[in-house]
Amino acid sequence: MDPYEIEDTSDWLGTPTPLEMYKHSCHMLENEVLELTTLLRKARQDIFGLVEMHAAEAKECARLRAELKAVRSALDDESRKNSDLTMTSNYLLCSKDRLISEYHRQLNEFMGGKLPEPTTNTIG
């Protein structure tokens, strides 16, 4: 037997022909392309969903920023009002103390200096 014929397996039973091997390879590639197409479609749907979620969250973030800005503005207004009221209250307390001192002085003068000296009442 010729040594080159030992390697010739074309007459063996169950050995695929080159055409059958090409067909099988083509079928495997078709299946892989179909699977990759399915995965790509799913990935695109996921990306689209994520983009929609991001847009909704960006809109909510913008709404919350606007609300925060309004609340900060209202807080600043109330803080200014509080400062104004505190200053007015302090001014009125000082004015009250001056009036009481003046009335005490006048009353003491009217009574001929018989009133005792006022004690300072510090409220803190």
Provide the pLDDT for residue 120: 64
Span 16-37, average pLDDT: 94
Q: Compute CA distances 55 → 44, 49, 50, whole Å.
A: 16, 10, 9
CB 106 within 8 A of CB 118: no
Output the DSSP codes for 104-119: HHHHHHHTTS-SPPPP
Give per-residue pLDDT as tens, 15-25: 788 899 999 99
**pLDDT of 67 over the 90 cut:** yes
To which H or E segment does residue 33 belong? helix 18-110
Provide the pLDDT for residue 115: 77
Question: Side chain identity at 40, as an amino acid letter?
Answer: L
* Residue that has been written with the tokens 């059958």 in this structure: 20
**pLDDT of 124 over the 90 cut:** no
Provide the pLDDT for residue 83: 97
Which of the four pLDDT bands, split at 50, 70 and 90, describes residue 7? low
